[in-house]
Amino acid sequence: MSTLYVRDSYNAQRDFPRDRFTAEYRDDSEWPVCSVEFELSDEFQQELREQLKGAEIPQKAISTRFYDGSLKFKYDPEVPPDLVAPSELKEALDVCAKGARRLSSPDYQEPEMQEIRTNLANWADPKKDAIAELQNLRTDEGSGLLRQVREEANSFSHPTSAALIEALNEKVDDLLSRSTASSIPQQLDEAIESELPVFIYFENYGILDGAVYLPRFLEDLGSEPQNSRVRTINAVFKHVNLAAEEIANLGDGETREAHRYNRSVTEDMIQKDQKRIDERSIKLNSASIGISENFSQWFGQRRHTIKYQADGDYFRIWVSDDRRPNVDIELESRSKGFQ
């Protein structure tokens, strides 16, 4: 199975190659099912730059789905980890400690001021040592340390040190906001995932009949609309805004009805039937052009021309390609992959 999006979960015992299962398979979260590489358009890259405030945007995204259902991304070029550097907190504490040693006030005697300076400096200096053990504040441990610094700093609040504590807390709040926000790689993952195309895996599908007897099809559509063959045929009509019942009715003219019951055919009947035949032909021709254009967008191997044709009660599909443009072949004579 090679889908990026799935409704049913993967089952390694069923989906993994049986002959390699015992020797190779270990963990649902570590074994990839499939990877797809996407090239990001210039327009999408610009949108991401605006969304991520000027961050460097990769040119390619590699999306990998794992057996546990998780989806992971890699980028080319690689996206840096977007650290919240502990050195920023260390620098803020250093500024606070140095500022504490220079505190003075005419309103307080020197022994009291010395105690205030010593307590604040002695608190800030050891905190720098604890920070040195961290590589990134964007972790639970980092966020916890930032909250602890803010809470403890407030306990040293004093009229003489208020400005120092306020400046330190402003920096701590900024670091805390950044450390708890989604990182640039996380935001990029979310943006890429929201734009991923949907991949549909067909394991069983209904083959379209090349010739459809419209009266029987309309009976089946009324009695068993969920039948795979009926749904497939009906999809052909609906995709190009045709109604099978309308196509059938347009082919059931008044002259035909008159012949059936041995009645005279009038000129008015002939004109009305001709109008119906023309309308039927125009609708089928328009639908043929539409399906041919759409199919050329889906199927890029070569260009095909698809023709819808109705003859009496029968609806038929013919196909030609650019290698033999004048040779129409019944749909059922094309390859199963094409069908």
Q: Does 4 score more than 70 pLDDT?
A: no
Q: What six digits make up the tokens of 176?
A: 């805390």
For residues 100 and 239, membership in a common domain is answered with no
Lowest mean pLDDT among 29-38, 194-203, 311-320: 194-203
By residue range, what is the domain housing residue 320? Answer: 211-333
Q: Is residue 6 part of a domain?
A: no
Q: Which residues contact 36 (CB under 8 A, 6 or more apart)?
A: 4, 62, 63, 199
Q: Is residue 226 part of a domain?
A: yes
Q: How confident is the model at residue 8 (pLDDT cuts 50, 70, 90)?
A: low
Q: How confident is the model at residue 205 (pLDDT cuts 50, 70, 90)?
A: low
For residues 157 and 122, membership in a common domain is answered with yes
CA gap 35, 71 in Å, rounded: 10
For residues 217 and 329, membership in a common domain is answered with yes
Q: What six digits make up the tokens of 317?
A: 């599909």
Q: Is residue 39 part of a domain?
A: yes
What separation in angstroms does the CA of 13 have from each of 10, 19, 22, 107, 179?
A: 9, 11, 10, 79, 41
For residues 258 and 116, membership in a common domain is answered with no
Q: How confident is the model at residue 75 (pLDDT cuts 50, 70, 90)?
A: very high
Residue-level pLDDT at 47 = 93
Q: Does 6 score more than 60 pLDDT?
A: no
Residue-level pLDDT at 329 = 86
Q: How far is CA 48 from the centre of its chain?
A: 15
For residues 153 and 255, membership in a common domain is answered with no
Q: Tens of pLDDT along 212-227?
A: 888 898 999 999 998 8
Domain boundary residue, one of 165, 195, 225:
195
Total number of domains constituting the chain: 3
Higher pLDDT, 338 or 97: 97
What separation in angstroms does the CA of 145 have from each of 75, 89, 101, 148, 279?
A: 32, 10, 24, 5, 78
For residues 219 and 324, membership in a common domain is answered with yes
Contact predicate 60/74, CB 8 Å? no
For residues 191 and 68, membership in a common domain is answered with yes
For residues 282 and 295, membership in a common domain is answered with yes
Q: Tens of pLDDT along 27-66?
A: 888 889 889 999 999 999 999 999 888 788 999 999 999 9
Q: Is residue 5 part of a domain?
A: no
**3-class DSSP string for the chain:** CCCCCCCCCCCHHHHCCHHHHHHHCCCCCCCEEEEEEEECCHHHHHHHHHHCCCCCCCCEEEEEEECCCCEEEEEECCCCCCCCCHHHHHHHHHHHHHHHHCCCCCCCCHHHHHHHHHHHHHHHHHHHHHHCCCCCCCCHHHHHHHHHHHHHHHCCCCCCCHHHHHHHHHHHHHHHHHHHCCCHHHHHHHHHHHHCCCCCCCCCCCCCCCEEEHHHHHHHHHHCCCCHHHHHHHHHHHHCCCCHHHHHHHCCCHHHHHHHCCCCCCHHHHHHHHHHHHHHHHHHHHHHHHHHHHHHHHCCCCCEEEEEEEECCEEEEEEEECCEEEEEEEHHHCCCCCC
For residues 176 and 96, membership in a common domain is answered with yes
| ω into 225 cis (within 30 of 0) | no
pTM: 0.52
Lowest mean pLDDT among 104-108, 114-118, 199-203, 241-245: 199-203
For residues 223 and 313, membership in a common domain is answered with yes
Q: What six digits make up the tokens of 87?
A: 């050195």
- For residue 166, give the CATH number of its domain: 1.20.120
Average pLDDT (227-231) is: 85
Domain boundary residue, one of 195, 221, 249:
195
For residues 59 and 191, membership in a common domain is answered with yes
For residues 188 and 71, membership in a common domain is answered with yes
Q: Does 90 score more than 60 pLDDT?
A: yes
Residue-level pLDDT at 228 = 81
CA gap 228, 323 in Å, rounded: 32
